[in-house]
Chains A and B, each alone.
Chain A
Amino acid sequence: AQSVTQPDIHITVSEGASLELRCNYSYGATPYLFWYVQSPGQGLQLLLKYFSGDTLVQGIKGFEAEFKRSQSSFNLRKPSVHWSDAAEYFCAVGADNQGGKLIFGQGTELSVKP
Chain B
Amino acid sequence: GAGVSQTPSNKVTEKGKYVELRCDPISGHTALYWYRQSLGQGPEFLIYFQGTGAADDSGLPNDRFFAVRPEGSVSTLKIQRTERGDSAVYLCASSLTGPTGELFFGEGSRLTVL
A59 to B58, CA, bound (A): 31
Nearest residue in B to A96 (C-beta to C-beta)? Answer: B100
Counting contact residues on chain B (CB < 8 A from A), the size range is 20 to 34
Asked if A101 is at the interface (CB within 8 A of a chain B CB), the reply is yes
Asked if A75 is at the interface (CB within 8 A of a chain B CB), the reply is no
Q: Which residues of B contact A4 (CB under 8 A)?
A: 42
Shortest beta-carbon distance, B80 to chain A, in Å?
Answer: 23
Q: Are B42 and A90 in touch, CB under 8 angstroms?
A: yes
Chain B residues 10 to 57 lying within 8 A of chain A, measured CB to CB, are: 31, 33, 35, 40-45, 48, 50, 55-56
Shortest beta-carbon distance, B39 to chain A, in Å?
Answer: 11
Name the one of A43, A90, A102 contacting B3, with C-beta atoms under 8 angstroms: A43
Asked if A41 is at the interface (CB within 8 A of a chain B CB), the reply is yes
Q: Are A43 and B45 in touch, CB under 8 angstroms?
A: no
Counting contact residues on chain A (CB < 8 A from B), the size range is 20 to 34
11 A-B pairs (CB sep. < 8 Å): A43-B4, A43-B107, A44-B91, A45-B105, A46-B102, A49-B102, A99-B56, A100-B98, A100-B99, A101-B45, A104-B35
Residues of A within 8 A of B (CB): 4, 32, 36, 41-46, 49, 51, 90, 92, 94, 98-107
